[in-house]
Structure 1
Amino acid sequence: MWVTKSYNDKFQQEYKIERKLHEVKGERHTLELFTSKAFGEIALLEEGMLLQKMLCVQSEFLAHLLACSHRAPKRVLIAGSFNLEIAFEFLRHQDLCVDFLQFDLKVLESLVSFFPHYKEVMESPRFTLIPQQSKEFLRQNTQENRVSYDIVLLLDSAQQAQDYQPLLEEKGILMIKSPQILLETLEVKRLLESLGDFGVKMPCFAPLSLLQDCYIFASKIYHPTADIQLQRADMLEGLQYYHANLHLSAFVLPKSVKNMLFGVAKN
């Protein structure tokens, strides 16, 4: 049997599975969980797929690339994801607090055995689960008690990045999921154009990622390669994927893509 991850009506990937473990329908999301010889378990959700044995790729890449591009991050918001391993990786950085915006708790709780550090993250005093829908959270944060963040990681492509920009500190970094850079370059260009007055707007991807997920790094101050905190990046221990050279290579694009994004991508 095979399970399929679709990118659009022209491109999809198939992964061999042994059997379906269970299916969970939450308030908005549906989780299908499969077992696979190659990847351990596979979690299939509307917004994408998670491979249990490859969680380190997305989790380490996103958390450490962002945390090591900011001089002194103190607070992070993760929105539009169920991947608690990203929070675990952020928590490796001393004094960094993580807010995790996810209201579909039935689905999240069904992944307790899927994520190796689920319990550790949930019990961390520097982790806060915010069980709200995005609209409710954003509405509350326009009031006087607004919380601001050094890093906002938005992984739900259906959400508008502009809605989260007011939550950023003056030197904050925004990372959003983008269309596939090679297959949908024009869509990436439109997304870059929509990001307004960020001084730095750079597409990137996790090198050698099977899932082909792509992102846009946006900041008014920090540059992800010029401002990389090398000492911090090199001192991280116990990682399987991220390191400083991989961080730098994530922003290297093919010549044709660079030409098409010239004047829109800002680096």
Structure 2
Amino acid sequence: MHSDLWVEEKFKDFLGLRFKVEKILFSGQSEFQTVDIVETKGHGKMLLNDGLIMVTERDEFAYHDMITHLPLFTHPAPKNVLIIGGGDGGTAREVIRHSNVEKCTMVEIDAMVVNACKQYIPQTSLALNDKKVNLIIGDGVKFVKETSEKFDVIIVDSTDPIGPAQPLFGEEFYQDVYNCLSDDGIVVSQGESSWYAIDIQKSLLEVLNRIFPKCFLYNFSNLTYPGGLWCFTLASKKYHPIDDFDKQRVKASELSFNYYNAALHTSSFALPSFVINELKSLIENNNSKM
């Protein structure tokens, strides 16, 4: 009898990523998606939503470091932060490490993701009970439309633009995000793969450019997303993430990181030529003293 158990993420119709599974820890169906947590051989615990890999213990820090520390060190004094999505808790964990952050509101649509991660992936979810974190189970699109609160930094920690995350890539959503940002606010969003989804990057950046005066794309690398090299978008009302970045603040914070550092903050905005050629009219990456 063949007892080898593997999980495979199938990407489009031409690529598969396979991981050896030692144990299935959780498997459920919420009103939004399937939610699975497995123990893998080489990457620790892994969260999958609708069969797509969201987080593994081995490389989650790359994503969570770069989606949080880069905007929080670009903005000179971020006190009030909003996370849309981020049900595994890793983004909130990194946000509240910043001593100047007074409050972190997190709006996640799927309670099953939060509860499963609280039970099985404490590495990412440990901060969700922190007093700085205001966890709301609800629709982030509705939240930004209705809130009267102003945020210094908004982090859109979403899945791909399918299923419940689809509206998080639209113009109406980002207009609402703009409206609930402070006058010098920044929004960072999960920005897909330049190798496989440059069309999605283009449409997202077109939306951001219609609303924000400054738009950027930056890279990070991980082990478990198709293509390995992925991106975040950064849109800002005021601050330039390189020209207005003070690397001494990183040193003074005395925070330790597994991926992010001051040199990488700047260098992550250096993009491959094929990306610049495709997106140059939509990004300001080269208009700096980099």
TM-score (norm 1): 0.89
The alpha carbon displacement at 1:220 in A equals: 2.0
Kindly provide the CA deviation profile for residues 130-171 of structure 1, in whole angstroms up to 9, marking residues without a partner as x: 122234423432xxxx01111111123312342422211111
Kindly provide the CA deviation profile for residues 99-131 of structure 1, in whole angstroms up to 9, marking residues without a partner as x: 110142233111113032634x23322110012
- Alpha-carbon distance between aligned partners in 2 of 1:261 and 1:69, rounded to the nearest angstrom: 22
Kindly provide the CA deviation profile for residues 17-65 of structure 1, in whole angstroms up to 9, marking residues without a partner as x: 2232220222323211111121111110136421012221111121111
State, as a whole percentage, how many aligned pairs show the same letter: 25
- Alpha-carbon distance between aligned partners in 2 of 1:204 and 1:7, rounded to the nearest angstrom: 22
Kindly provide the CA deviation profile for residues 51-107 of structure 1, in whole angstroms up to 9, marking residues without a partner as x: 012221111121111101111111111112213121111111113121110142233
Which residue is equivalent to 1:105? Answer: 111
For the pair 1:9 / 2:22, whether they are aligned, the reply is: no
Secondary structure of the corresponding residue to residue 183 of structure 1: coil
For the Cα contact (< 8 Å) 1:57–1:209, is it kept in 2? no
Which residue is equivalent to 1:228? Answer: 245
- Alpha-carbon distance between aligned partners in 2 of 1:170 and 1:8, rounded to the nearest angstrom: 40
Kindly provide the CA deviation profile for residues 169-221 of structure 1, in whole angstroms up to 9, marking residues without a partner as x: 11111111223113332332222111114222111121355423322111121
- Alpha-carbon distance between aligned partners in 1 of 2:114 and 2:85, rounded to the nearest angstrom: 12
Which residue is equivalent to 1:42? Answer: 46
The alpha carbon displacement at 1:6 in A equals: 4.0
Q: 1:260 to 1:148 in 2, by over 3 A?
A: same
- Structure 1, unaligned runs of 5 or more: none
Q: 1:8 to 1:117 in 2, by over 3 A?
A: closer
Q: 1:238 to 1:152 in 2, by over 3 A?
A: same
Map 1:1-267 to 2 at 5 A. 1-46=5-50, 48-96=53-101, 97-112=103-118, 113-116=120-123, 118-119=125-126, 121-141=127-147, 146-156=148-158, 157=161, 158=166, 159=168, 160=170, 161-162=173-174, 163-195=176-208, 196-211=210-225, 212=228, 213-234=230-251, 235-267=253-285
Q: 1:132 to 1:229 in 2, by over 3 A?
A: same
Secondary structure of the corresponding residue to residue 38 of structure 1: coil
Q: 1:39 to 1:62 in 2, by over 3 A?
A: same
- Alpha-carbon distance between aligned partners in 2 of 1:15 and 1:85, rounded to the nearest angstrom: 22
Q: 1:5 to 1:249 in 2, by over 3 A?
A: farther
Secondary structure of the corresponding residue to residue 13 of structure 1: strand
How many residues are treated as equivalent by the alignment?
262
Q: 1:62 to 1:13 in 2, by over 3 A?
A: same
- Alpha-carbon distance between aligned partners in 2 of 1:53 and 1:210, rounded to the nearest angstrom: 9
- Alpha-carbon distance between aligned partners in 1 of 2:200 and 2:141, rounded to the nearest angstrom: 25
Deviates more, 1:71-80 or 1:41-50: 41-50
For the Cα contact (< 8 Å) 1:21–1:34, is it kept in 2? yes
Secondary structure of the corresponding residue to residue 226 of structure 1: coil
Secondary structure of the corresponding residue to residue 261 of structure 1: helix
Q: RMSD of the alignment, in Å? A: 2.1
For the Cα contact (< 8 Å) 1:3–1:16, is it kept in 2? yes
Q: 1:117 to 1:266 in 2, by over 3 A?
A: closer
- Structure 2, unaligned runs of 5 or more: 286-290
Deviates more, 1:38-47 or 1:87-96: 38-47
Moved over 4 A (4+): none
For the Cα contact (< 8 Å) 2:77–2:100, is it kept in 1? no
Q: 1:80 to 1:122 in 2, by over 3 A?
A: closer
